[in-house]
Structure 1
C-alpha cells in the first residue's frame, strides 16, 4: 500500500507542477509585446519600390507594405504608369484590392470590363485570368492583399 500512496503523491505533484508551469508560460505569453500597427502612404519616401515581373509594362513597380511576399498574408502597393496595359495573367492567391489613384479598366475572364475609380474595392478570385489598362492621367496604384505567397503567372494567348 505505501508504494501506491507514494505514486499518487508523485502524480499529484506532477499535475500541480504542470499547471503551475502552464500558468507561468501563459502569463509570459501575455507579456510579449503585441504586433505594432502601421500606416503607409503611397508617396512615403521610405517605401522601397521594386520592379514587377518582366512581362508587366515598363515602369511597373511594387512595394511590400506588410508581411513576406513568399509567405501567406502579405500586402503590397502595385503601381503602373498611365496609358499602360497589364497583360493577361492570374495569381495562385485571391486578391483583395482597392484602387488608390488613377483610373483602371480591369477585365476578368468571361466578364464584362470593369471601370475602376479611386476608392473602389475589387475582389479577384484565385487563378482567374485578368488583364487591365491604366488610363490617361495619374499612375494607377492598387493596394493588394494576398492570402497566399505573391505570384503573377502570364496567360499565353
Structure 2
C-alpha cells in the first residue's frame, strides 16, 4: 500500500513537471514568432492584383496571390477562369488543397471518376497526378489553391 502511494505521488510529480515544462515551452513559442504578419482578405477584394495564367490555360484565366511567394514553398493563390471554360490536362510538382469560392466546376484526375465541385467544396490533388477541369457555370469559377511547393503547371497532350 505504501509503495502504491509513493508511485502515485511520483506519477503526480511527473505529470506536474510535464505540464510545467509544456507551459514554459508554450510561453516561449508564443513569444518567438518569425515576424510575419497575419493576413485577412477576400476573393471579392477590388484591390486584388490578378496576373496571367500559363499560356496553355484558357483565355481570361488569372491568378491572384493571397499569401506567400509562388516561386517558394507554401503559397496560397486564387485561380479564376471564365464560365464555361475548360482547363486542359496538366500536372503540378506540388499537391493542391482547393476550395471552390464561386461557380461550379468539374474536376477529373487521371484514373479517377469526374467529381463536381460546388461553392464551398474542398478537393485535394496529389502532386504530379495529371488532371483537367471545367468551369460548368455561366459565371466565373474562382478556386482557392494552397500549394506546398512552388507553384507550377505543365500541360499534357490528351
Matching residue of 2:64:
63
Identify the residue that residue 97 of structure 2 maps to in structure 1: 96
Structure 1: stretches of 5+ with no match in the other structure: 1-26
Deviating beyond 2 angstroms after TM superposition, the runs of 4 or more aligned structure 1 residues are 30-35
Cα RMSD of the aligned pairs, angstroms, is 1.5
SS of the residue corresponding to residue 119 of structure 2 reads: coil
The corresponding residue for 1:116 is: 117
Matched, 1:37 2:35: no
Trace 1:123-142 onto structure 2 (pairs within 5 A).
123-142=124-143
- Give how far 1:133 is off: 0.7
Larger radius of gyration: 1
Contact persistence 2:94–2:128 (CA under 8 A): yes
* Cα distance in 2 for residues equivalent to 1:143 and 1:85: 17
Q: 1:128 to 1:41 in 2, by over 3 A?
A: same
Matched, 1:149 2:150: yes
Equivalenced residue count is 129
Q: Which runs of 5+ in 2 are unaligned?
A: 1-27
Q: Aligned partners of 2:34 and 2:74: how far apart in 1?
A: 21
- Aligned-pair CA distance for 1:136: 2.6
The secondary structure found in structure 2 opposite 1:92 is coil
Tell me if the contact between 2:78 and 2:142 (Cα under 8 Å) persists in the aligned partners: yes
* TM-score normalised according to structure 1 size: 0.78
> Does 105-114 or 130-139 show the bigger shift?
130-139
Q: TM-score when scaled to structure 2?
A: 0.78
State the partner residue of 1:78.
Answer: 79
Could you tell me how far apart the structure 2 residues matched to 1:121 and 1:102 are? 14
